[in-house]
Structure 1
C-alpha cells in the first residue's frame, strides 16, 4: 500500500520512493510542469536515482537541474561515506609526501588561490571544497577542481549566456592519500596568526562545515533524502549528523598543528614560514 506525504512524495514500498517537485524557474514563469524522481535503496550498498531532464532545452532550467542533481549526489555520497567511517570536510587539501595540509575558511578567504600556489610549488593536489577524512586522520583524494573564478563567471546571467572566463589549469600532480599534519583556517582581515588547540579548531571547523553542508540540506532537492528518511528507519539522518561531527573532530585531533591565518590575501610564503619553517 502506498503512503503519501502531501502531493510531492509517496512511498511505493521495498525501499523505493517517488518524489515530484516544481521545475526550477519554470514555476516562477507560471508553468505547472513537474519534475519526478524515483529513488531506491538509499540505505543499501547501491542506490538508484532515476529522473529525466525537462523536455524543453531552456538553458536556465538545464543549469539549475544540473546544479540540484549535483547537490543530491553529494548528499547521498555523504551518507555512503559515513557508513564506511569516512566524512566530508569543507576544506581544500594539498600534500607533501605523506603530510596533508587542510585549508579551511569561508568562501572567498583564498583557499583555492593558496592551494594553487602550493601545487605550483611542488605540493600534491588532493581536493577542492570537499575533503574526505577518517577518524585516524587519514585524508583521501577527491579531485573535484572547478574552473578559476573571474568577474565574468561571478555574474549570475553569465551561466545562462554561456560566457566562459579564462580557465587556469593546475600544473601539478594529484596525490591519492596522506595523513593530516596541519590545519590552516584562513580569515580575511588585519594580519594576524593564532595558534589553536584541537577543541577550538574543532569548534570553528564544525561551523565552517555547517555553512557548506547547509547549502546541500537547504536546497529543494534535499527533500528527497528527508522524505526517504521519514518513511524508512535507515538511513537514520540524526545519527548520520551526530557521527559526522564526532568523526571530523577525531580526525582534527590527529593534526600536529592548527593555526588561524588572518590576512587580506593569504600567500604561500606566509604559510610556508608558519608550517614548514622554510
Structure 2
C-alpha cells in the first residue's frame, strides 16, 4: 500500500514577502495617522482652553487701576487691582473685614442711625442757640446793676466751667468800699482797722467782683478814679494781686499810692483822712 506523501509546505516567493511587508506598513501608517489625529485634536483642545483662559484672565483684570498709596482710600478699580494680587491669607482677611463692615452697615440701617445722627445734630444746634440766648441775657444783666451783674457772672460760670469744677465760694462778694465808690480803699493793703487783704472777703476769701480789679470796664460805662490803683510804667493799672505782692499802700487823704511807708518814714499826707469807727 502506498503511503500518502506529507503535505507540501507553502513556498514563499518574492511576491508573498512583498505583500506582507506592505500590509505591515499600511497598518503602521494607519496607526500613525490615528495618533496624529489624536494629537491634533488634543492640540486644538488645548489651544481652545488657552484662549478661554486668556479671555477669562482679561475679564478678571478689566477695570483695574494700580494703587500706589496705601494711605488713600482706594477707588473700585484700585480695590480690584489689590484683590487680584493679594495672597490667599490677605483675601481671607479682606473678606472678613467686608463681612464685618456689612454687618455694621445693616445694624445702622435697621436701627436708623442716620436719622438719629441728624436728630442729634438738630438738638446740638438748638442747644447752641439756647446758650447764645442765655449769654445775651447775661450781658443784659451785666448792665442792669451790681445784683444783676452777680447773677450774670453765675450764669457764665455755669456755662463755661467744667461740670465737676467745685465752686470757690458760696457768694459773690462786693466790698463796701467799692459799693460806695471807694475803690482805692478796697485795693489797699491797709484799712481803718489795720492791715487787710485787698479785694477779698474776710470770712471766705471770695474775691471782690468790682470792675476795678480787672481790665473790664464798668457795666454802666463808669471808669474808676485815676487813684483807684497804681499804674505800671506803660500806663496799665496794677492788679490787686500785684498791689498786695509788691507792698503798695494807698493814702485815703490825698489819694496817692506808695511803697515803703513805715512809722519811721511815714507818708506826708497834705489832707489826712478823718478817723472812723466803721468801714
Name the TM tier (shorter chain).
under 0.3
Larger relative strand fraction: 1
Which protein shows a greater Rg? Answer: 2
Larger relative helix fraction: 2
TM-score, with structure 2 as normaliser: 0.23
TM-score, with structure 1 as normaliser: 0.23
Higher relative contact order (CA 8 A, sep 6+): 1
